[in-house]
Amino acid sequence: MSSKYIERFSTSERVLHWIVTASFFTLLLSGLGLYSRLFNGYFNLFGGGQNAILVHKIGGIIFFLSSIYMYFNHQKDVSTFDQDDKEWVDKRGGYLSREASHFNIGKYNPGQKLFALYVAAATTILGVTGIFIWLPALFPRWIVQISLLTHGLMFVGSIMFVIVHVYLATIGNPGTIDAMLYGDVKRGWAKKHHPKWYKETTGENT
Partner 1 sequence: MADTINQATRKGFLVDTSRCIGCRSCQVACKQWNKLPADKTSNKGTFENPRDLTSALFNRIKFIENETSGAVSWLFLNERCMQCGDAGCMKVCPSPGALYRTRDGIVAYNKEKCISCKYCVSACPFNIPRYDTNDKVSKCNLCQSRIEGGIAPACAKACPTGSLKFGKRSELIAKATAAKKALYGENNLNGLGVVYALEGSPEKYGLPSSPSIPMSIFLWKDVIKPLGILGFWGSIGAMLLHYVTIGPKKVDDEETGKGDGHE
Name the residue among 47, 59, 107, 120 with its Cα closest to residue 80.
107
User: Which among 16-24, 28-36, 58-66, 79-87 is the span making contact with partner 1, rule CB under 8 A?
Assistant: 28-36
| Contact between residue 146 and residue 133 where contact means Cβ atoms under 8 Å apart | no
* Phi, psi angles (nearest 5°) of residue 31: -95, -20
Report the alpha-carbon distance of residue 134 to residue 144 in Å, rounded.
9
Nearest alpha-carbon partner for 197 in 104, 117, 115: 104
Of 48, 61, 75, 128, the one binding partner 1 (CB under 8 A) is: 48
Rounded to 5°, the CA angle 98-101-106 comes to: 135
Contact between 194 and partner 1 (CB under 8 A)? no
Q: Does 90 bind partner 1 (CB under 8 A)?
A: no
Least distance from C-beta 107 to partner 1, angstroms?
17
Residue 170 near residue 177, CB atoms below 8 Å: yes
Strand segments (E) across the chain: 5-7, 184-186
Q: Choose between 66 and 151: whose C-beta lies nearer to partner 1.
A: 151
Torsion angle, CA of 180/183/186/190, rounded to 10 degrees?
80
Instruction: Name which of 108, 67, 71 is nearest 88 in CA terms.
Output: 108
What is the smallest separation between the CB atom of 174 and partner 1, expressed in angstroms? 6
Using CB under 8 A as the binding rule, the residues of this chain from 134 to 163 that contact partner 1 are 136-137, 141-142, 144-146, 148-149, 152-153, 155-156, 159-160, 163
Judged by CB under 8 A, does residue 8 bind partner 1? no
Our finding on whether 36 is near partner 1 (CB under 8 A) is yes
Does 183 interact with partner 1 (rule: CB under 8 A)? no
Residue from 12, 44, 61, 94 that binds partner 1 (CB under 8 A)?
94
Residue ranges that bind partner 1, judged by CB under 8 A: 2-4, 33-38, 40, 43, 48-50, 52-53, 94-98, 136-137, 141-142, 144-146, 148-149, 152-153, 155-156, 159-160, 163-164, 167, 171-175, 186-189, 191-193, 204
